[in-house]
Amino acid sequence: MSSTQPVVIIGAGPSGLLLAKYLEQNQIPVVVYEGDPHANHRPQGGTLDLHEDTGLLALKETHLLEEASTMMRIEGEAMKVVDKSGKVWLDENVPEESEASADTKNVPVGEIRGRPEIDRTDLRNLLIKSLSPSTIKWDHRITSVTALSPSSYQITFVDKPTITTPYLVGADGTFSLVRPLLHDLKPDYSGISMYELEILPSNLTPALEQYIGKGALIVLDDGKALMPQMNSGRKCKIYLALKVPFDWQKENPLPDTNKREWLVNLFNGWLPQAKEIIMASQEDSIGQRKIYQFDPELTWDTDKTGVTIMGDAAHAMSPFAGEGVNQALADALLLGQTLVPLFRPQPQSLKSASLPPFPLSLLPISPPSPSLERPTPLVEPHTSDLHKALRGFEKKMMLRAKVEMKGSKENMDMFFGDEPARHLAEMLTFHGRVGMVLGWLSWPVDKIKGLFSP
Ligand SMILES: Cc1cc2nc3c(=O)[nH]c(=O)nc-3n(C[C@H](O)[C@H](O)[C@H](O)COP(=O)(O)OP(=O)(O)OC[C@H]3O[C@@H](n4cnc5c(N)ncnc54)[C@H](O)[C@@H]3O)c2cc1C
C-alpha cells in the first residue's frame, strides 16, 4: 500500500478500533497492538448509549452506522428510577402524553430521547470486522514505552519482539502505559467501587423482566446503587455500586461461595426485588472494579512529536453520564481527521479549488473528502507539522471532554448523595422535557436513518 511507517495504536477498545478504521478507509497504514489474546477473550461489558454528535457521528463517518443500527435498541433507553423503599420516582417504560409536540404523542419518552443503546460486544465486533484481518495484533500486551528521541518510541511487549515507531497513539484505557510519555498525572479513585453481575435469559422471570423494564432500572439510596440494565437477547447486566474507601473491597473480600448472598446483605432492608435481582444472577461470573476519574481541568503540553493519547487514556471519567465511549469514539474521529491531511496532503490546486471565490465561499459546501477513490499520494508527515497538529488535537479533545468529565462527576455526586432517586428523576424529567421542546434531543428511528445519507 505504501512506503510510510504505519501508525501504531495501542489498544483495541472503541477508540483504537475506530481510529484504525478511519485510517484504513483513507489507505493510511496502521497497526493495532492489543493485549487480549483474541477478540472473544473477555466479555466486553453491558450496553452503551450512543450520542448524536459523538458516537453516532463517528460511526457515520466510518460508514458503520447503517450496520450498527441493526444492533441498536431504541427501547433500551427507557429508564426507571426507584428508591430503596420501592417508591418509583420515574418510569419511562410507561407511555407519556407530550404537550410539546403532536408528533410525540403516545410515544414513550425513552423512544425519543435519541440515544440508542448498543451492546458493547456488538460494537467492538462490528469495528473488528470492519478492519483488514492483519491490522490487529492480538496477544501483544505492552510492558513499557520509551522515547528514544522526541520522534521515535520503543515499545516492549510480553514475549514478543520490541518495535520502534515514529507514530504512536495510546488508546490503552485508564491505566495507559503510553500516557507517561506526555505527562505524569494519574486518574484518581472516584470513591465508587462496583460489582458486575449478569442474569441469563433463562433465569430472568417474567416478573423480574417486567419490573426492570426495557432499559435500565436504577435503584439509589444510602450511598449505594443497584442498576440492572437489559442488553440484547434478554440478557441482563447488573452493576452494584458502593460509595466506599479505596481499600474497602480488599478489606471486605467476596467469599469463595455464596457470593450472591453476601452481596444481597449489602442491600438489606431494600425493596424485595433487590434480592431477587441479585439472586437471579450467575454466581460464577461476578466481577469487581473501582471507578477512576481525571480532574476535568486536566491539560498538558509536551515536546514529544509523534505521540498522543485518546479515550480513557486521556480523560477517564466515571460512567454516570454514559459519555466515556462517546467521547472515545469522537476522539478517534477527530484524530483521524487530524492525521489524514498530514499523511495525504491535498495538492495546492485542490486546496484552492476547495475554496470557491466570494460570495460562493459562504455557501455550506463540504470540503473534498480525503477518502476519494484515487487518494492523493502518501507522505511521511513533516515533524513540526505533526507536532503542531497533535497538540492542537489534544487541546480540542480535552476542551470537549472537560464538559463531560464535569457532568459525569456531578452525576456521580448526585447518585451517591442525598435523596438521589428524587434528584435523578427530576433531572431526567427536565432533560426529557427540554429535549421534546427543543427537538435537539429527539432522535426517532427515521432521523437515525437520515444519518446514512452522505
Ligand atoms: C462499569 C462501567 C460502565 C460503563 N458504562 C458506560 C456507558 O454506559 N456509556 C459509555 O459511554 N461509557 C461507559 N463506560 C466507559 C467506557 O467503557 C470507556 O470510556 C470506553 O470503553 C473507553 O474506550 P477506550 O477505547 O478509550 O478504552 P478501553 O475501552 O479501555 O480499551 C482499551 C484497550 O486497550 C487494551 N490495553 C490496555 N492496556 C494494554 C496494554 N498494556 N497492552 C496492550 N493492550 C492494552 C485493553 O485490553 C482494551 O482493549 C463504562 C465504564 C465502566 C467501567
Q: 258-313: per-residue pLDDT in tens?
A: 999 999 999 999 999 999 999 999 999 999 999 999 999 999 999 999 999 999 99
436 lies in a domain? no
Please report, for the domain that includes residue 272, its CATH number: 3.30.9.30
Q: Do 352 and 407 share a structural domain?
A: yes
- The stretch 318-325 carries a mean pLDDT of 94
**Cell numbers describing residue 189:** 479513585
Q: Which of 322, 238, 232, 312 has the alpha carbon at shortest distance from 50?
A: 322
In-domain check, residue 267: yes
Number of compact structural domains in the chain: 2
Q: What residues contact 325, with CB distance under 8 A and at least 6 apart? A: 14, 48, 50, 55, 120, 123
Q: Is the CB of 11 under 6 A from ligand 1?
A: yes
Amino acid type, 225: A
Q: Are residues 249 and 301 in the same domain?
A: no
- CA–centroid distance, 20 to ligand 1, in Å, is 16
| Ligand 1 mutation target, pool 312, 317, 318, 405, most atoms within 8 A of CB | 312
Q: 324: Cβ below 6 Å to ligand 1? A: yes
**Cβ–ligand 1 contact at 432 (below 6 Å):** no
At 414-453, the pLDDT tens digits run 999 999 999 999 999 887 655 444 443 334 444 444 444 4
Q: Which of residues 265, 293, 321 is at a domain's end?
A: 293
Check pocket membership of 400 for ligand 1, CB cut-off 6 A.
Answer: no
Does 157 lie in the same domain as 42? yes
CB atoms within 10 A of CB 398: 19
With beta carbons less than 8 A apart as the criterion, state whether 85 and 220 touch: no
Q: Is the CB of 240 under 6 A from ligand 1?
A: no
34 lines ligand 1 (CB under 6 A): yes
**Cα of 47 to ligand 1 centre, how many Å?**
13
Nearest ligand 1 atom to the CA of 50 is 11
Residue 324's pLDDT is what?
Answer: 96
Determine if ligand 1 sits within 6 Å of the CB of residue 436: no
Confirm whether 13 is domain-assigned. Answer: yes
Give a yes or no: residue 79 inside a domain: no
* Chosen domain end from 236, 268, 293: 293
Atom number of ligand 1 nearest to Cα 310: 26
Average pLDDT over residues 404-416: 97
Q: Which of 226, 260, 293 is the last residue of a domain?
A: 293
Residues 24 and 143 reside in one and the same domain: yes
Residue 109 in domain: no
Query: Helix or strand or coil: residue 78?
Result: coil
Q: Is the CB of 322 under 6 A from ligand 1?
A: yes
Q: What is the mean pLDDT of residues 30-35?
A: 98
Mean of the pLDDT values across residues 365-392?
79
Do 206 and 216 share a domain, yes or no?
A: yes
342 and 196 share one domain: no
Cell triple for 279: 439472586
Q: Is the CB of 215 under 6 A from ligand 1?
A: no
Model confidence at 364, pLDDT cuts 50, 70, 90, reads very low
Residue found by looking up cell 437515525 in the block: 448
How many Å lie between the centroid of ligand 1 and the Cα of residue 45? 9
Q: What phi and psi, each to the nearest 5 degrees, are found at residue 111?
A: -85, -10
Nearest atom within ligand 1 for CA of residue 143: 41
The CA distance from 190 to 393, in Å, is 27
Considering the domain boundaries, does residue 220 fall inside one? yes
Residue 130 lies in a domain: yes
**Which range of residues forms the domain containing residue 253?**
188-293
**322 Ramachandran zone, left/alpha/beta (phi>0; psi -120 to 50):** left
Q: Is the pLDDT of residue 363 over 80?
A: no
Question: Using CA positions, which residue lies closest to atom 2 of ligand 1?
Answer: 319
pLDDT digits (tens, 9 = 90+) for 340-355: 999 999 876 555 544 5
Task: Give residue 376's pLDDT.
Answer: 87
Same domain for 264 and 322, yes or no, is: no
Is residue 43 one of the residues assigned to a domain?
Answer: yes
Q: SS3 for 397?
A: helix
The Cα–Cα gap between 52 and 59 comes to 10
Lowest average pLDDT, out of 177-186, 331-340, 369-378, 402-411, goes to: 369-378
Asked whether residue 320 falls in the same domain as residue 282, the answer is no
State the Cα angle at 187 between 185 and 190, rounded to 5°: 150
Distances (CA, A) of 6 to 33, 168, 270: 12, 9, 55
Q: Give the containing element (helix H, strand E) for 192.
A: strand 188-199
Torsion, CA 434, CA 439, CA 440, CA 444, rounded to 10: 120
Residues 17 and 144 in one domain: yes
Average pLDDT of every residue of the chain:
87
Tell me, yes or no, whether 151 and 257 share the same domain. no
Q: The CATH number of the domain where 157 resides is what? A: 3.50.50.60
Picking from 49-63, 69-83, 316-330, which range would have the lowest pLDDT averaged per residue?
69-83
400 in the same domain as 353: yes
167 and 301 co-located in one domain: yes
- Is residue 100 scored above 70 in pLDDT? no
